[in-house]
Amino acid sequence: MIRRAALLGLVLGALALASPAPAARPRPAPRAQVWASSADGARKLARQADLAPAAAAGTVLTIDPARTDQRVVGFGAAMTDASAELLQVALPPARRRALYAELFGRQGLALGFVRVPIGASDFSRRHYSLNDLPPGQRDPGMARFSMAGPVRFQIPALQAARRVNPGLVLMASPWSAPAWMKDSGSLITGRLRGDAHAAYAAYFTRYLDAMTRAGLAVAYVSVQNEPAFEPKDYPGMRMSAGDRAAFVATALGPALARRRQRTQILEWDHNWDHPEEPLAVLADPAARRFIAGVAWHCYAGDPKVMAEVRAAYPDKQVFFSECSGGNWSPNWGEAMGWMFDNLIIAPLRAGSRGTLLWNLTLDENHGPHLGGCGDCRAVVTIDRARGTVTRNLEYYVLGHASRFVRPGALRIASHGGEAAGAAHAAFRNPDGSLVLLARNGGKAPLALAIMVQGKAWPLTMPAGEIITLVWPAPGPRR
């Protein structure tokens, strides 16, 4: 009986091995998750019904995950002195913690990129540098260097943000060198003295070392905020292309290269209207070897120049580093559309690794500030008197990208619909999920057939609508 049972088992086992395995079930095409903001403000980053793949007619918009471009660093805004002060003192502790979680947390906006002024900007209560001296004195050895200004509000605010988002990436920009390094002897107006290059490079390294000790290592620095502009009522410093190239080649570049902590140098940090400026600096081989990329602002010119400069130097990174909305543009739909097209889509399609807006928070009086912009608008407004938080259109414009396009995402090819008014960019996140950012810039509803790997997802976008579509990462086959 034992031998007969064993023989039967062998026969059955052989038959099982000879039988074909059951065919794997084809993986169904996923539904796309949809978030939308309307031109009339009725929908603001609002979850919509999921989209199922189906036969679709209309304008074809094709996403090609096989064609990739730049890797994304992130999206965010500037932690000015004004923003830091408001975040630290204008709200009770519980509401303060909740706002940090909302701005930087994975379940909120998930902001992961922050710009930090080195010393004062126009959004500071006083004009200062990190090495202020009485007239006639100099300190090339940085003995009088002090982080007292940033330590009051800015560093605690950045540390709080990093506790919520440990992957936070920082970019730092000076508005002016210390007054004693300038030919004007003042933080306001003037140029960097030729004999101050070594001292100014030491100023940068002292700042970067102090930030690293505070747990806030800085990934990128620009040479000078808006070097072609010399403001009359707040810190600034004009630096020509030749001056910037010489400073980077002989002082700043070598000084940063000697540091253990790597910080990359970004050129320009100013408007689209003078692409010849960064091109001139990058044409200098001694400076170019230390420059990682070019940063851009929005206040003049055409965003298409970002792609043109990148085409000339394809090994250099692109960043969009400043733009502010304000009372000068009160129409919600017009301002939202312009910002999304020019500050999110255009930079990303030009190769930008991230977008930074200007102030993260301001109060009900567009401040605090000393000089400069008197009607700028921040990502959020904190009303000191009422203790309320208002989420401005910048919040929703950023959120359409920052909540869904994760750090490390690759931009992938997307094309179609441009003639009908569609502006778009697509991404593959590190987890394999796909993201499409799009806006209907036309005057009428736009019927789209969104094609991904041979399947279509039909979507009709109202005029002026912004959408984010997310295709979740594919799960394991069953």
**How many angstroms separate the CA atoms of 148 and 163, rounded?**
22
Q: How confident is the model at residue 25 (pLDDT cuts 50, 70, 90)?
A: low
Would residue 328 count as lying in a domain? yes
Per the CB < 8 A criterion, the answer to whether 83 and 360 are in contact is yes
Quote the mean pLDDT of the chain.
94
Last residue of a domain, one of 368, 388, 404: 404
Residues 6+ apart with CB under 8 A from 118: 130, 172, 173, 174, 175, 204, 207, 221
CATH assignment at residue 449 = 2.60.40.1180
pTM metric for this prediction? 0.93
* Degrees, nearest 5: CA angle 319-321-324: 140
Give the mean model confidence (pLDDT) for residues 140-153. Answer: 98
- Can the peptide bond before residue 474 be classed as cis, meaning omega within 30 degrees of 0? no
**How many angstroms separate the CA atoms of 37 and 42, rounded?**
8
* Degrees, nearest 5: CA angle 458-393-167: 85
Residue 292 and residue 162 share a domain: yes
Residue 395 and residue 261 share a domain: yes
- Confidence at residue 10, expressed as pLDDT on a 0 to 100 scale: 35
Q: How confident is the model at residue 402 (pLDDT cuts 50, 70, 90)?
A: very high
Range of the domain at 232: 73-404
Residue 64 and residue 197 share a domain: no
CATH assignment at residue 194 = 3.20.20.80
Residue 152 and residue 270 share a domain: yes
Residue 390 has pLDDT above 80, yes or no: yes
Residue 447 and residue 325 share a domain: no
**How many angstroms separate the CA atoms of 364 and 381, rounded?**
6
Residue 106 and residue 178 share a domain: yes
Per the CB < 8 A criterion, the answer to whether 429 and 405 are in contact is yes
Number of H helices, E strands in the chain: 14, 22
Residue 21 has pLDDT above 70, yes or no: no
- Confidence at residue 27, expressed as pLDDT on a 0 to 100 scale: 62
Give the mean model confidence (pLDDT) for residues 280-296. Answer: 98
Give the mean model confidence (pLDDT) for residues 111-126. Answer: 98
Lowest model confidence (mean pLDDT) among 192-196, 202-206, 462-466, 474-478: 474-478
Residue 195 has pLDDT above 60, yes or no: yes
Residue 372 and residue 360 share a domain: yes
Residue 77 and residue 61 share a domain: no
Alpha helices by DSSP H, 120-273: 148-152, 154-164, 197-213, 241-247, 253-257
Give the mean model confidence (pLDDT) for residues 437-442. Answer: 98
Query: How many residues make up the chain in this entry?
Result: 478
Q: How confident is the model at residue 372 (pLDDT cuts 50, 70, 90)?
A: very high
Would residue 398 count as lying in a domain? yes
In the chain, % of residues over pLDDT 70: 93
Residue 64 has pLDDT above 90, yes or no: yes
Residue 105 and residue 215 share a domain: yes
Total count of domains within the chain: 2
Residue 304 has pLDDT above 80, yes or no: yes
- Confidence at residue 121, expressed as pLDDT on a 0 to 100 scale: 98
Residue 474 has pLDDT above 90, yes or no: no
Per the CB < 8 A criterion, the answer to whether 272 and 286 are in contact is no
Torsion of CA 342, 347, 353, 359, to 10 degrees: -30
Residue 20 has pLDDT above 80, yes or no: no
Residue 135 has pLDDT above 50, yes or no: yes
- Confidence at residue 4, expressed as pLDDT on a 0 to 100 scale: 40
Q: Look at residue 110 and give its three-state secondary structure.
A: coil
Beta bridge partners of 266: 222, 293
Would residue 158 count as lying in a domain? yes
Would residue 8 count as lying in a domain? no
- Confidence at residue 14, expressed as pLDDT on a 0 to 100 scale: 39
| Nearest by Cα to 147 from 190, 211, 55 | 211
Per the CB < 8 A criterion, the answer to whether 219 and 170 are in contact is yes
- Confidence at residue 29, expressed as pLDDT on a 0 to 100 scale: 76
Residue 306 and residue 418 share a domain: no
Per the CB < 8 A criterion, the answer to whether 397 and 336 are in contact is yes
- Confidence at residue 6, expressed as pLDDT on a 0 to 100 scale: 40
Last residue of a domain, one of 352, 381, 404: 404
Beta strands in 302-440 (DSSP E): 317-322, 325-326, 352-359, 361-363, 376-377, 380-383, 388-391, 410-415, 422-428, 434-440
Residue 192 and residue 48 share a domain: no
Structural element, H or E, at residue 96: helix 93-104
Residue 16 has pLDDT above 80, yes or no: no
Give the mean model confidence (pLDDT) for residues 342-360. Answer: 98
Would residue 7 count as lying in a domain? no
Last residue of a domain, one of 404, 434, 461: 404
**How many angstroms separate the CA atoms of 63 and 454, rounded?**
10
Residue 319 and residue 283 share a domain: yes
Between 280 and 330, whose confidence is greater?
280
- Confidence at residue 303, expressed as pLDDT on a 0 to 100 scale: 97
Would residue 241 count as lying in a domain? yes
What is the token pair recorded at 469?
A: 């579509």
Would residue 1 count as lying in a domain? no
Give the mean model confidence (pLDDT) for residues 143-153. Answer: 98
**How many angstroms separate the CA atoms of 333 and 301, rounded?**
22
Beta strands in 112-160 (DSSP E): 113-118
- Confidence at residue 5, expressed as pLDDT on a 0 to 100 scale: 41
